Structure 1
Amino acid sequence: MSWVPVVDLSDSNAVAAVADACERVGFLTVAGHEVAQGVLDDAWNTATEFFDLPMPAKMRVAMPRPGYPYGYSPIAGETLSASLGERHHPDLKESFAIGPVDPPTHAFAAPDEEFAWSANLWPADVPHFQAAWEAYYRAMSDLAARILRVMAVALDLEQHWFDPLIDRHTSAMRSLNYPPMNGALPDQLGASAHTDYGTLTILLADHTQSGLQVQAADGTWRDAVPEPGSLVVNLGDAMARWTNDRWRSTMHRVVVPQRRRQSIAFFHNANWDAAIECLPSCLADGESARYAPIEAGPHLMQKFRSTVNTY
């Protein structure tokens, strides 16, 4: 994964390295993240146990209706390319997702905000699943806040600039299982080409095989295999809009693997009513903002619901 920059968050040059990676690639491999290995292992192993369950057990925690954000989604339950207004074959993956693990302590900014705080569904068939996932969710929330403070400095902002925009964040955690599929159509993918919607995504993936592909600036697709012990971070659409495309929300996809592939993604999102508009430090003299201001939550909900298939 040498073409994706490796950034050690504990290094004195982390700010400059993050700025360079976000501007050139939109992806970076993060070392020095300080997340305990036990937290990573517990989330990973319980996810594997869940996907190994028979289908009736998994369907007991299926998303109760199309468009519900959390729970189990079977193979072909989603088409990510639809978030870009494109329709292709359904994605060949199954997934399990949760949202915020602590109940809201604030009044909702709008009635639709309840969508992001929908109840999580927990599989009783996997012991310690809920404890392991809640620990991982909290660790990723802390890490995302740490990364955003580095990014703020890289964008010539005060270190804690993003803090009030993420203190009620509506992030989602999702494990994905990509089984080998001998009957896949020639152009069918594990996850069709898409960008992520929020501030940033933190990915825990198997470093022993490829599958994730990132679109380079020249339009070619390149394999992205993480370094052992590292986490992959990519920017979402909110960050691209904040930076007026100075930083990239990069297209990526997952090809159908030769053997089973698993990952855990933490999709960090801002507060529901956070304003996503061009940062003053990203607007040069005489330059105009490329995007109209939006609120984070409605953008997220529209993108997510556009991808859901009926099963």
Structure 2
Amino acid sequence: MPSQTGTDVLAVASKTRAADGVVSLVLRRPDGGRLPDWTPGAHLDLVLPDGSTRQYSLHGDPREPDAYRIAVLREPEGRGGSRFIHHELRQGDFVGFGGPRNTFRLTPAPSFAFIAGGIGITPMLPMLRAADLLGADWRLLYLGRSRSSMAFLEELEVHGDRITVGVSDEHGPTDIRSWLESGPAAASPADTKLYACGPMRLIDAVSELAADRRPGWTRVERFAAVDRAEPVRTTPFEVEVAGTGRSIRVAPGVPVVEALRSAGFDLLTSCSRGVCGTCETRVVEGVPDHRDSILDDAERADGTCFFPCVSRAKSDRLVISL
């Protein structure tokens, strides 16, 4: 059984095919014990045997206390994690894990509009269950290249006409604007929260269409980082770790997380691009220069959340809590 610094261990209880190029894993503690609670939109940091960390959305039921369920898309051009999971990982194997963590939280609203592209369906599944429990009106637009590549289609059939499936190799591109302008999203846009997860092109399109909607009521989760302008500062700054009395100088061009590690602080990271949220820390004092692809405008203005893999400081000194 592997030992992972700062992580716990899970056993692969089952591994099944969910669609072309997609496998679904059920993960449990080796002793069958209870796992940390989670909420819809959460993801798990999976620590593979080579020490690399990958982030996957949980698609099961949060009320299931002893199992985590994730689905993994094989990405031929990826960094190797999905290839290992598809071709090397077997039932009975052990993996480390961190979290769960949630940077894509579902918050109550009278109605919801969900848009998923490809493997972006995974965080939506527990959100749909939660919306039902809340008694909210909701619809889902699920987009994919082909039906064979779209996981969990059969599971979604029980929801009837609440689900719109857009398959590009059958009907061409789906008109997202027309879908948004029908149903609850159109009838009461001020009372409808919009959640979207999927490839960059989809998220960019949704963000543009939602630009005039109620602030803070559109949440997106990206697979890739947004291009950012140059950092605000071109000079060094200090990062103090609250409760330690230690202050670390961060030079231009050096990621904060690397400066912290060089000073002996152990931080778990996954994407290192400001997409997954694994390295999230809290800002106690100072003004951060947000360079992630996670926070919305209101969260950036709040200034209390920080992702040291990409973000930096506007102020001379930044105090963070690890």
TM-score by length of 2: 0.26
- What TM-score does the superposition give when structure 1 sets the normalisation length? 0.27
Greater helix fraction, Structure 1 or Structure 2: 1
Rg: which structure is higher? 2
**Structure with greater strand percent:** 2
If asked which structure has higher relative contact order (CA below 8 Å, sep 6+), I would say 1
